[in-house]
Amino acid sequence: MKSLTYAIFATAFAITLAGCATNRTPQFSYDASVPPLPTVQAAATDNTPRPLLVPPAWTVARGGTAAGTPTGRVENANAAARVEPRREGYYNAIQIYPWSEGALYQVYAAVGQITTIALEPGESLTDAGPIAAGDTTRWIIGDTESGSGANRRVQILVKPTRPDISTNLVVTTDRRTYMIELRARESLYMPAVAWAYPATPASQRQTVPAAPIIPAEAARNYRYGLTGDSPPWRPVSVFDDGRRVYVVFPAGIVQGEMPPIFVLGTNGEPQIVNSRVHQNVLIVDRLFGAAELRLGSGNRQQVVRIVRINPTQAAAARPANATGDSPS
């Protein structure tokens, strides 16, 4: 009986050791030489389109003429802050106003005509109630967009339902707040309105990050194997350049969801690691012995494990037609 008990205990202990060995992250030795960091292309300056015309600067109003009553002061301040269309501000049919915080820009519209109010390229409306008007019953106000990318531009469309009415319009964006006074006429109207903005200081100009450099075929180390599930997003190849690991997904990954990657620690615990995506390539900013791609949760979670293997195994595991090519 004791022999049987000992045999069962020994078998259980062996299974436990085998399980621990299976869950342990494989160790790997560092390369004898590490390639230098590639030369990164200089970040491109944000070449946001600028107005075709820069009108004369607007002199900031300081309350207008003096008045003896609060009512008079408000009226005089508003009158002094009003910016009317000027001949020097026209570019074809577009009135380009000089931007000044707190100015009251005059926009003339007509029944049966649409006036377009164009914001700065790249400027976005705020999430909640970005366009507010005092009279939404007799004025038809909407918004649309033109262009794309750096040229994307919000266009606010206004149209009165009758002449000789007026209201104010407040537009809030991620860059500024516009205060506009709309005035309806029988036939006189302004087809389009835009603004010229002060030049952004060089220290505040946004830059467009340079695209990551995917190493050339000769600089790639194919020394990773894949195990686990076979979802549609299963990587087609994995390689490193001596500093980073590149996980290449099928080109169709853009139609679905790219799974996050977790590097496995020495005890098999998942760790978050710095990574970024370039097209269909997930770039991990360090080498690792094992990592897991996980998508979903519970019983439906899909897991693909990436394990670093020795050079002999890597040569056999290297895909013949999936090289992980990606535009650099």
- Note the pLDDT tens digit of each residue in 192-204: 999 999 876 555 5
Measured CA to CA, the distance from residue 193 to residue 251 in angstroms comes to: 43
With a cut of 60, say whether residue 45 has pLDDT above it.
no
As a whole number, mean pLDDT of residues 16-20 equals 47
- Is the pTM here over 0.75, yes or no? no
Structural domains of the chain sorted by starting position, each given as residue range(s) with its CATH number in brackets: 70-204 (2.60.40), 213-328 (2.60.40.2500)
With a cut of 90, say whether residue 33 has pLDDT above it.
no
The residues facing 179 across adjacent strands are 170
Backbone dihedral angles phi then psi of residue 282, each to the nearest 5 degrees: -95, 120
As a whole number, mean pLDDT of residues 250-273 equals 87
Backbone dihedral angles phi then psi of residue 284, each to the nearest 5 degrees: -100, 130
Q: Which two tokens stand for residue 289?
A: 């012995």
Alpha-carbon dihedral 171, 47, 149, 327, rounded to 10 degrees? -160
Q: Which amino acid is at 204?
A: Q
- Residues whose CB is less than 8 angstroms from the CB of residue 121 and which lie 6 or more positions away in sequence, other chains included: 48, 49, 147, 150, 151, 152, 153
Query: H or E element: which one contains 74?
Result: helix 70-81
- What pLDDT does 43 receive? 52
Q: Which two tokens stand for residue 73?
A: 């002061």
Backbone dihedral angles phi then psi of residue 78, each to the nearest 5 degrees: -65, -40
**pLDDT grade, residue 154 (50/70/90)?**
very high
**pLDDT grade, residue 117 (50/70/90)?**
very high
206-260 pLDDT tens trace:
555 567 789 999 999 999 999 999 999 999 999 999 999 999 999 888 778 889 9
With a cut of 60, say whether residue 51 has pLDDT above it.
no
